[in-house]
Structure 1
Amino acid sequence: MKIALFPGSFDPVTKAHVDILRRAIPLFDKVVIGIGLNSTKAAFLNIERRKEMLEAVFSDDSKVEVATYEGLTVEFCKKIGAAYMIRGIRTVSDFEYEKAIAQMNHALVPEIESIFIVSKPGYSSISSTIVRDIMRNNGDVRQFLPKEAFDLL
């Protein structure tokens, strides 16, 4: 069984995340969306709300599972039996950052392969960081979030 992990903070999940996932799902037997707990980042939404949003967005797909984890992402891959890690690339700087992470992950656990999926041009400017900033300032984020996620804010 080909299992992939799509890790991230998903704070909040955006249409760009959904696009990457929808394009990745047909490539695997199972895709686990892993919401990583990052002690160095102050979360905007609590972990339960983020999980609830992702489960609502992907409720129609039996190949998708949502889980939370703490610690090294490659260790979580091993725990769930994922041999692949999906990463979305929006910009050249994303690629440089993700390449470095993928190389470090490969050094730690060579059996786990990173798969980069380039975002569609219309989604390349959408980031959770920017969306959070808009939300903090009471801006309208509907155009950046899947309806199911927006309904849970």
Structure 2
Amino acid sequence: MAKVAVYPGSFDPVTTGHLDIIRRTSNIFDEVIVAVFVNPNKNPLFTREERVEMLEEVLKDFNNVMVDDFAGLLTEYLKEQDGDVIVRGLRAVSDFESEFQMASMNKKLAPEIETLFMMTNTKYAYLSSSAVKEVASFGGCIEELVPEYVIDKLIKRLKKEDKMVTEEDRN
């Protein structure tokens, strides 16, 4: 029986840190579902469809990885997908407390589902989608922080949303 891992997140946008977790997870499990979570408490820069499309493009060479999206309880989504394990990336000790709380709640809701905490590669410990958006909005270099495919999409979206800081803004 295939072991199915679900890696949920907002992926707004997907970063090289996310890709590292996905690659490593795909080496451990038979099937990995990268699930774009629709969080009503967040105001994403990209639509759900755009985030799914970007992930599908950057993950197209991963044979055992599929991309999906969901809203609602993660444990219910895993049951629908016959998922066995929730994968969560940890960048720092500060991530652990909230992730542990969520994992404990998920265990209460679905005792049969395990949560696997995967430590990020240390070269990505500082990296988050929020940090990438902030650096990009100030015109900083985001190469190596997000896949090449995402760079232009991010810059265009920030400009469209009038979230780019210009020279005039800085003076």
TM bucket normalised to smaller: over 0.9
Assess if the C-alpha contact under 8 Å between 1:3 and 1:31 holds in 2. Answer: yes
2-structure distance, mates of 1:137, 1:52? 25
2-structure distance, mates of 1:32, 1:136? 30
What is the one-letter code of the residue matched to 1:73? L
- In the TM superposition, 1:114-153 aligns within 5 A as 114-153=115-154
Assess if the C-alpha contact under 8 Å between 1:86 and 1:117 holds in 2. Answer: yes
Q: Which residue of 2 aligns with 1:51?
A: 52
TM-score by length of 1: 0.94
Correspondence 1:80 to 2:81 = yes
2-structure distance, mates of 1:139, 1:48? 26
Q: Which runs of 5+ in 2 are unaligned?
A: 155-171
User: What are the superposed Cα offsets for residues 116-151 of structure 1, whole Å, 9 maximum, x if unpaired?
Assistant: 110111100000111122233343322310123325
1-structure distance, mates of 2:86, 2:62? 19
1-structure distance, mates of 2:46, 2:29? 29
3-state SS, counterpart of residue 39 of structure 1:
coil
What is the one-letter code of the residue matched to 2:149? E
Distance 1:71 1:55, change over 3 A: same
Q: Which residue of 1 aligns with 2:104?
A: 103
2-structure distance, mates of 1:40, 1:136? 22
Root-mean-square deviation over aligned CA pairs = 1.2
1-structure distance, mates of 2:140, 2:51? 19
Using the TM superposition, give the Cα deviation of residue 14 of structure 1 relative to its aligned residue in structure 2, in angstroms: 0.3
1-structure distance, mates of 2:96, 2:39? 21
Q: Which residue of 1 aligns with 2:34?
A: 33
Q: Across the two proteins, how many residue pairs are aligned to each other?
A: 153
Using the TM superposition, give the Cα deviation of residue 57 of structure 1 relative to its aligned residue in structure 2, in angstroms: 1.1
What is the one-letter code of the residue matched to 1:11? D
List structure 1 runs of 4+ shifted beyond 6 angstroms: none
1-structure distance, mates of 2:138, 2:39? 23
Q: Which residue of 1 aligns with 2:11?
A: 10
Q: Which residue of 2 aligns with 1:42?
A: 43
Correspondence 1:22 to 2:23 = yes
Q: Which residue of 1 aligns with 2:162?
A: none
1-structure distance, mates of 2:35, 2:83? 11
State which structure, 1 or 2, has the greater radius of gyration over its C-alpha atoms.
2
3-state SS, counterpart of residue 56 of structure 1:
helix
